[in-house]
Structure 1
Amino acid sequence: LMMGWITIILFILLAETKSENQTCKVIGQTGFMEFSKDGDLIIGGVFSLSGTRKIEDNGYQALELKFARTVIFTVEEINRDSKLLPGMTLGYRLYNGCGSENLVRAAVEAVNGEEQSCKSRIQALLGHSSSGVSEDINTILGPLSIPQLYPTFFRTVPSDRFQIIALLKLMEYFDWRWVGIIHSPSMYATQATTEFIKEAKKEGICVEYMKSFSRSSTTSDSITTAEIIRSSSSKVVLLFMSLSYTKAFLKIMEGRNITGKQWLGSESWITQTDLASATRKSILQGAMGFAIPEASIPGLAEFLLNLKPSDEPESAMIRAFWEDVFHCSFTPSNTSAMCNGTEDLRTISNDYTDMTEFRAVNNVYKAVYAVAHALHALLQCRNASNPTTGKQCVNMKDIQPKQDGDKVLFDENGDTVAQYDLVNWQMREDGSVEIVSIGEYDSSSSEGKNFKLNDITKIIWGGNHVEIPRSVCREPCPPGTRKAINKRKPICCFDCFECPEGTISNQTNAPECLICPPEFWPNDRKDQCLPKPTEYLSYKEIMGALLTIFCCLGVFLSLLTSIIFLVHKETPIVKANNSELSFLLLFSLKLCFLCSLTFIGRPSDWSCMLRHTAFGITFVLCISCVLGKTIVVLMAFRATLPGSNVMKWFGPPQQRLSVLAFTLVQVVICILWLTINPPFPNRNMNYYKEKIILECALGSAIGFWAVLGYIGLLALMCFILAFLARKLPDSFNEAKFITFSMLIFCAVWITFIPAYVSSPGKFTVAVEIFAILASSFGLLICIFVPKCYIMIFKPEQNSKKHMMVSKTVFKE
């Protein structure tokens, strides 16, 4: 993978040591060495110090010169350290090459040493700042390896695998699940993008588009790329390119009206402020990315800026560099001023003189120290053995290249610990750019703690967003819905479906909806199961209150009628209509009205048993009285016939006995019902899904219908007898009124049956109460109201004379 200029690679050489007498001839171009210093141990380095062997006005070469000078500074600093490699000095051989071919040749020259001697003179080679070039060099040198324990390829810049993981952590933190990728066509960028997509899938992050950009792209291709970015729904764009490709891309994207995007950059360009221009600020404002951590290297800035051509009198490259940056010449010229070699680099602004940050050069600094510590450990000797390797002690003359492979600061893959700064592009009012560190990533920390973000309020967001941009293909499914994968779309473009009736989801992106327990029901949002409301006929609701009022009214009218009858008990109309049965009937009507109240209120064990049995017994008592009165009327007129003696068979004792007998039958039915399978309170959750009906279950349906059937049988008998006696004189009998009352009674209860069966919940109870009240009011009104009317408003008709006249008319 090619990561651009920031990757510093450390090689532990693979060449075998040749004998003193063995010579060979180096084929091809030589003379790449630019800087050198003798020492007991030698470190080599390969850098692209110039283009085509002559310095050009190119910031890339200026930066490479800074790398090379950093090696020199670090070697001198190590030589001043009495504790590191004591008694020995480090030297260096730094080679200049440009282009992959010359860089490989320079590396071979570094390994071979002097032109006519194949004896290796360096113990380690600092590779090129590009990973791709360094891997090419490693491929060439690899077959020279002496089989040993340690690897031969190390790097002080973390593998791009760590950068990919860090970018995914960043996207997860801000919940950016829908991103676009623009990458260069190089193998580095292509492989890195492929690795990113692979890891992104594991974390549930999807790529909307992946577009390759080439510096040789046509205008049509550039327009297509810009249109893809502009029209995409993803708000986050990952630009995975080297610095040179990034410059070309941004130049082409200028004026393409690409706004509203949050750009993420690879660490190859994310700290390069020279990318900013007036036309690019709208694109790069708020850009984020991971960069090599900032470092402080005391004395390095002064060392780099104090460079003079006299420091390297043998270096033609330094002279060319000096002439180029100061626009002068060391030889007489008609076009340029003469260089005196004392010019101050602090007056120049380029990549070499930029001392604002040491992110990249710090890796060169660490690479030299890694070699020094490896050599130091290898040369340790205690009790005739090396405490690091456990083998026999060696001296510096016996050091073989691959023996230097101590894994100081590297893992089993040759990678150093990954540490990054998360940086944010922030444009100042004066047009300059400030790269602000807003977080960090450290692969050595435990999972969940390796990514840290500083004060989020200090972040400038891309795309003119004032808050964290949202970049998702589909917003998360809220509670109350379930998440369903759409096979025709990326996994991030899922569907959300509302939970079916009776189910909930109480979390975001719930894969399934949960069924509520039987006694619970979802709320309106379907994100919580709430206890089902219970329903029963209550005194507090309008229907229950109205029925209660009618019950009380019925009791009051029955009581009032009883008082009227009691006041007029000695009048002919009361005596003629069997006052004893009339008072008993009025008493039973009061009980009928009162038993309706047991149907109102929360069902309980006692109320369920009482309501049906009280109703059944009081109504039988009531109908028995009416039946008795009807029989009395019939017997009374049979007794007026000559020779008839029927009244002695149905006098007051027989009337009481008949009422008692009819009622005892119902009592027995109720006792059997309560004994075998009585009514009980029940929570009916089947009729309504969303609420519970508190009802009185019948227990034994046979018992219930036996009670109703017996009442209906007595009512039918009473109706038939009253119907037969309907033409008797009005003043002497009440058969006509009993007929009407029984007609109403039977009509009500016949209608009650289908209404009772089909009515839901509390309406079932209301129907039953209505039937009780309607039939009770029917009996009260039809039987007693006409008599009360005569006693109060027509007292002249309440006389024995009037009764006798009616009787005479009847006889004629």
Structure 2
Amino acid sequence: MCKFLPQCSIREPVPILHKYYQSGDLIIAGIISQIYIFSDTLSFEKQPSQEFSDDHISITFSEVFRLTTVQEKIPGPFLYAMIIAVQVMVEPRRKGSHFVAMIALHAQKERFPTRKLIYGSAPVMNDKSPGLPFYQMAATEALQYEGILSLLLHFRWTWIGIIATDNDNGERFVQTISPMFTKSGVCFAFLERIPSFSFISEIPGMLTQGATISQKIFSSKANVVLVSGESYSMATFRWLPNLSEHDDIKNNVKSKVWIISAQVEFASFVFQRNWDAGIFSGAISFEIHFRNPPGFHQYVLHRNPSSTDGDGFIREFWQQAFECLLPDITADKVEGNICTGEEKLENLPGSLFEVSMTGHSYSIHSAAYAVAHALHAMSSRLRHRGMAFRVRGKNPNQQSWQLHNFLRNISFNNTAGDVVFINQNGEAASSLDIVNWIICTNQSLHRVRVGKIDPQAPPDQSLLLDEDAITWHSWFNQTQPLSVCTERCLPGSSKKVKEGQPPCCYDCIPCAEGKIANQDDMNDCNKCPDKDYPSKNQDACLPKDISFLSYEEPLGISLACFSLFLSLITALVLGTFIKHHDTPIVIANNRNLTYTLLISLLLCFLCALLFIGQPEKVTCLLRQTAFGIIFSTAVSCVLAKTFTVVLAFMATKPESRMRKWVGKGLGHSILLSCSIVQAGICTVWLATSPPYPDVDMHSVTEEIILECNEGSVTMFYCVFIYMSCLATVSFAVAFLARKLPDSFNEAKFITFSMLVFCSVWLSFIPSYLSTKGKYMVAVEVFSILASGIGLLVCIFYPKCYIIILRPELNNREQLIRKKN
């Protein structure tokens, strides 16, 4: 605009009131934030130089250019500008890193030897230009991000809020942590950017926007808030609890766990000195590691306006901090308090003044000593080479660019006793302290170191934390706060993300049958190994029991004893019949078939023992085949006896053609032919796909079943179907012959025996298919014994009764009498 107005002239934008340097052989300069200034918007109605400019960055440029261009005003052969965290004092919407680069380019253009040592919150200069070396004196931002993430995961805080400044640094912070945190399972409940302002006119709008942000923060379910900002940002954050328009939130603020980045200092504006900062008590802050150099504390406490020489900053600070005026700068008429100069710095709130060193100050301290040590090393070398330079007519000062070589890989002990080492990349190996803020009712601030982030440790071990040393806000009742969208899914259930919600917000669904979740918040339930099974709550895998019908358990020993008992009874019946083999009742119904039937029943009862005990190769081969052949032989005997009775009565009719079939040959033929068919089926079975020992891991959830695999299911059913057909035919023939005369007829007893036999095996089919494991085997054993008992009792009990208890009825005359 001035180029169109002749009366305009370019002037110094702001008069510099103080010069913070002293003459010396060597000056190491630093650009450090000291003040934050508000101003009105420029109206262009008067000369800008008559009012304090809001454009803080122009002041910084002015002073840096003054240092780097007007060398004749600064005595000494060298000037090394230590550009330190410039962005903390520039207008927040500007790019502090760009400002550093601009200063460096200016210094390079002027051929002025500069080295940029960045402390604290300054970002890593990824766009380093050749010939513009930068040195990072504090831990890198990457280490801080990893440390914050490790802390969140350590406490299982997966639902957090983010507060960042509304500038380039805040945007870079958000863009960096978002993918990193999301990948590790941390979700954002809200992401708010704190507005910044430079003009007084912007304050109302900032407060209105801050009220909305405050409402979101303190009404959120997230109990953890991650705060990133500049060194002065805490002064802005302190507005938040007081900005809510809702009285229930303002008067009953739900406290949060504030995780504060290393860039933020606990600093306040002067007018905030009496504000209650208790809401930030219990905060966890990442701070640059530091230690107080010897004597530093006493040095600070003895600083006052009268003890400083030419330090205008101390005087201005003193007046604002103690709310008084120093006598030598007051007007004739003084309104307000007069400073005595003896006020105690230790009485100031911690938010206004720190009597101990801070991490940022410690980095400045180390940076200054790094330059000093590098200069000392370079000077020593130049002194040895001074004669050569004089001979060649060169000034050793022209070799100042060599300082870069001395700063790289420099190592020394600073005054606090710590080792400072700058590696080849210009980075100092510095750790981060984890500090717990405790704010008392009198607003005094106490910092308690509760851990650290060690850059030298492996990534998974870099976090060192003493949980017992942390004091949480009283709102949490000294219990570790939770900050999750869904509290947790207990073992036995898995997470199911809600549709349209972040992955941290989910429902808990029980594990499906056969699966377990043995940890909290599992994404999916897992199957147990085959040798294990899920517990009742589906939260653990338990070892399966080995299961088979054993002689050592009550069921197995009972069936075995019952089988042996029936075998003994059958043997006694057979012995009785053999002893009375010449009696009419034994002879009447084909004595040989009777003996064969009793022997078959004896073998059937003993066959049941093959099903008890651990399955072996031999027992598996014999179980079903022996049972099928022996039982088929028994049923064939019954069928042959029934046919023999029927044919005998048919042959008694006059001129009957059946007489030629009556005799022992028919019964033996029926027995042999029926048995051979079943034996043939079993032979084919054993030859093609024989049974074998097997392990069933899945049929019964809690057991590993040792069983006999039938090999061919088709052959197994063929054996049972054939035996069922023989039994059905025997039952039908016996039923038709049940009314023949009793003297020679046992068809009635055969009918009852086959009825029992068929009933047992019809019941066997659903029972067998509905049971598993050893109980399936027990069902088959029970069916074998029950069907054998039916044949034994129904056919032989009446005969044994006569032979043993009524021998007088066992004679030919009695039988003939009954016949007549």
Same fold? TM cut 0.5: yes
The alignment's TM-score, normalised by the length of structure 2, stands at 0.72
CA distance in 1, matches of 2:426, 2:361: 19
Alignment of 1:108 onto 2:65? yes
The CA deviation at 1:224 is: 2.9
C-alpha deviations, 1:732-768, integer Å up to 9, x for none? 4334433444455456557767876787655654554
Alignment of 1:124 onto 2:80? yes
CA spacing shift, 1:474–1:578, aligned 2, 3 Å: same
Match of 2:119 in 1: 156
**Deviates most, 514-523 or 167-176:** 514-523
Match of 1:433 in 2: 445
CA distance in 1, matches of 2:765, 2:313: 113
Q: Which amino acid aligns with 1:259?
A: K
Asked whether the 8 Å contact 2:234–2:265 carries over to 1, the reply is no
Match of 1:457 in 2: 468
CA distance in 1, matches of 2:27, 2:626: 114
CA distance in 2, matches of 1:739, 1:150: 122
Q: Which amino acid aligns with 1:235?
A: N
Question: Which secondary structure state, in structure 2, belongs to the residue aligned with residue 237 of structure 1?
Answer: strand
Alignment of 1:238 onto 2:236? no
The 5 A counterparts of 1:96-495 are: 99-113=56-70, 123-127=79-83, 130-133=86-89, 135=96, 136=99, 139=102, 142-146=105-109, 152-157=115-120, 159=122, 161=141, 162-197=143-178, 199-214=180-195, 216-217=204-205, 221-242=209-230, 244-254=232-242, 255-267=250-262, 269-272=264-267, 280=276, 282-300=278-296, 327-330=325-328, 344=342, 349-350=347-348, 355-357=355-357, 359-381=359-381, 395=395, 397-398=397-398, 407-408=407-408, 416-427=428-439, 432-443=444-455, 447-453=459-465, 455-462=466-473, 463-474=475-486, 488-493=500-505
CA distance in 2, matches of 1:38, 1:100: 25
CA spacing shift, 1:101–1:411, aligned 2, 3 Å: farther
CA distance in 1, matches of 2:59, 2:18: 12
CA spacing shift, 1:446–1:216, aligned 2, 3 Å: farther
C-alpha deviations, 1:171-204, integer Å up to 9, x for none? 2333322211233435444444444435434544
CA distance in 1, matches of 2:150, 2:22: 45
CA distance in 2, matches of 1:165, 1:219: 33
The CA deviation at 1:491 is: 4.1
Asked whether the 8 Å contact 2:489–2:508 carries over to 1, the reply is yes
Match of 2:93 in 1: none
Match of 2:26 in 1: 41
Asked whether the 8 Å contact 1:112–1:120 carries over to 2, the reply is no
Question: Which secondary structure state, in structure 2, belongs to the residue aligned with residue 369 of structure 1?
Answer: helix
CA spacing shift, 1:385–1:788, aligned 2, 3 Å: same
Question: Which secondary structure state, in structure 2, belongs to the residue aligned with residue 421 of structure 1?
Answer: strand
Question: Which secondary structure state, in structure 1, belongs to the residue aligned with residue 407 of structure 2?
Answer: coil
CA spacing shift, 1:686–1:194, aligned 2, 3 Å: closer
CA distance in 2, matches of 1:672, 1:52: 104
The CA deviation at 1:458 is: 1.6
The CA deviation at 1:357 is: 3.5
Question: Which secondary structure state, in structure 1, belongs to the residue aligned with residue 237 of structure 2?
Answer: helix
- Percent identity over paired residues: 33
CA distance in 2, matches of 1:729, 1:308: 138
Query: Residue 793 of structure 2 is aligned with which of 764, 778, 781?
Result: 781
Question: Which secondary structure state, in structure 1, belongs to the residue aligned with residue 484 of structure 2?
Answer: coil
The CA deviation at 1:423 is: 1.3
The CA deviation at 1:281 is: 5.3
CA spacing shift, 1:42–1:472, aligned 2, 3 Å: same
Q: Which amino acid aligns with 1:470?
A: L
The CA deviation at 1:253 is: 1.1
Question: Which secondary structure state, in structure 2, belongs to the residue aligned with residue 426 of structure 1?
Answer: strand
CA distance in 2, matches of 1:268, 1:634: 111
Question: Which secondary structure state, in structure 2, belongs to the residue aligned with residue 34 of structure 1?
Answer: coil
Count of residues paired in the alignment: 736
C-alpha deviations, 1:310-361, integer Å up to 9, x for none? 7767677777777886755248976569x99995465784589853345444
The CA deviation at 1:233 is: 1.9
The alignment's TM-score, normalised by the length of structure 1, stands at 0.73
The CA deviation at 1:123 is: 0.8
Question: Which secondary structure state, in structure 2, belongs to the residue aligned with residue 729 of structure 1?
Answer: coil
The CA deviation at 1:373 is: 2.8
CA spacing shift, 1:509–1:632, aligned 2, 3 Å: closer
The CA deviation at 1:377 is: 3.7
Larger radius of gyration: 1
Match of 2:200 in 1: none
Q: Which amino acid aligns with 2:181?
A: A
The CA deviation at 1:283 is: 1.0
Q: Which amino acid aligns with 2:119?
A: T
CA spacing shift, 1:150–1:800, aligned 2, 3 Å: farther
CA spacing shift, 1:500–1:615, aligned 2, 3 Å: same
**Deviates most, 674-683 or 459-468:** 674-683
Gaps of 5+ in 2: 1-9, 39-53, 91-95, 124-140, 196-202, 243-249, 409-420
The CA deviation at 1:105 is: 2.4
Question: Which secondary structure state, in structure 2, belongs to the residue aligned with residue 379 of structure 1?
Answer: helix
The CA deviation at 1:398 is: 3.9
Q: Which amino acid aligns with 2:63?
A: A
